[in-house]
Amino acid sequence: MKVLVAPDKFKGSLTAAEVASAVAAGLADVHPAALVRTLPVADGGEGTVDAAVAAGYERVRVPARGPTGAPVTASYAVRGDTAVVELAEASGLHLLPGPPQPLTATSAGTGDVIAAAIQAGCRRIVLGVGGSACTDGGAGMLTALGARLLDEGGRDLPPGGAALSRLASLEVPRLSEVDIELASDVDNPLYGPRGAAAVYGPQKGASPADVAALDAALRHWASIAGPEFASHPGAGAAGGVGYAAMALLGARMRPGIELLLDLLGFDAALAGTALVITGEGSLDNQTLSGKAPAGVARAAAARGIPCIAVSGRCRLSAVQLGNAGISAAYALTDLEPDPARCMAEAAPLLRRLAHRVALDHCPPPGANN
């Protein structure tokens, strides 16, 4: 029996590769002869570069500016002339050295990584936009790629979304012969009640007053940079990086998991597969809104292959799981009710959980089905 193990990360606990390894080990404990292939996946957020590397891409480390401008080492994944860039690698919330800085955090580091990939000869950039610390409308990313944002006195604006309220003129260079694709499951517009500041600003430390200031600044930014993409689904991704990429760099947006599955060769990996095992830290309503497990299940269903899921916890009903194409779900909390222990001991618990999966779904050779 051939099994494909294609999970996302268990956030705060295990990487996608670690999840896949633990599940594969648990399956092998019960059925050593099973043919198990691991293919860690991601949906454009944290772990996207790691998933690409696990699928055979080469990791390239480059210097970049973090969300406060402090230097960090980021990485992208490359195969041929395709680079997979993960915004969180340089502009992620986890990179803040201290308290959140919602008004001044910048996406410049993401532009640094893109620029390095282009300089290395990459002509297709897949940009995963998730987990950002900034709400700067993608302005920082653009400046790293050579753009200039000027105030009425002709001075360059300082970093951050709040400064966009003083924008008077904009100069953006053309990126010739570079194709940029955005991988995201976010459909928010740039501004307004569902915009980048209102929905995601509080997660980045923005007070109600900060949210109002950032939303007004993003409106002004769009009035100068071009309003036609401001209401486009995904413009609000990563604090407005989605807007800047689409409006000024000609990027196209695709659902993150669909784009990543294509890049990782998921369809080819399904050949001859009898069962797909996917998963993430929490199976909940967000899972149903385009997260990795739902995308994996949908792709498996298109080939008539059953899919089950493993997770840290599961908050979805059997009906919800079934509608998403997941025939069964197993959670670490089935084994250990203490969430803290589930986090701390995720790998061995997941290996034990895979024993149940193997017994329920992977009959040994010669068994009567």
pLDDT value of residue 368: 47
Distance (Å, whole) CA 28 – CA 249: 47
Mean pLDDT, the chain, whole residue set: 95
pLDDT value of residue 363: 72
Structure confidence by residue, pLDDT tens digits, 203-262: 999 999 999 999 999 999 999 999 999 999 999 999 999 999 999 999 999 999 999 999
The CB density around residue 231, as the number of other CB atoms within 10 Å, is 16
Does 300 score more than 60 pLDDT? yes
Structure confidence by residue, pLDDT tens digits, 96-128: 999 999 999 999 999 999 999 999 999 999 999
pLDDT value of residue 359: 95
Q: What is the value of pTM for the model shown? A: 0.92
**What domains appear along the chain, each with residue ranges and CATH number?**
2-39+268-361 (3.40.50.10350), 48-257 (3.90.1510.10)
Distance (Å, whole) CA 4 – CA 41: 12
pLDDT value of residue 369: 43
Residue 24: name the closest of 350, 329, 337 by CA: 350
Structure confidence by residue, pLDDT tens digits, 305-316: 999 999 999 999
pLDDT value of residue 113: 98
Q: How many residues does the chain have?
A: 369
Structure confidence by residue, pLDDT tens digits, 10-62: 998 999 999 999 999 999 999 999 999 999 999 998 999 999 999 999 999 99
Question: Region 271-289: what's the mean pLDDT?
Answer: 94
- Read off the tokens for 362: 């992977």
User: Across the strands, what pairs with 59?
Assistant: 77
pLDDT value of residue 177: 86
Does 360 score more than 70 pLDDT? yes
Backbone angles phi, psi at 34, to 5 degrees: -65, 145
- Read off the tokens for 63: 């210097």
Structure confidence by residue, pLDDT tens digits, 162-182: 999 999 999 998 887 899 999
Structure confidence by residue, pLDDT tens digits, 55-103: 999 999 999 999 999 999 999 999 999 999 999 999 999 999 999 999 9
Give 212-216's long-range contacts (Cβ < 8 A, gap of 24+). Answer: 213/103, 213/162, 213/165, 214/102, 214/103, 214/135, 214/161, 214/162, 215/191, 216/165
Contact partners, residue 164, CB within 8 Å, separation at least 6:
136, 137, 139, 149, 157, 217, 218, 220, 221
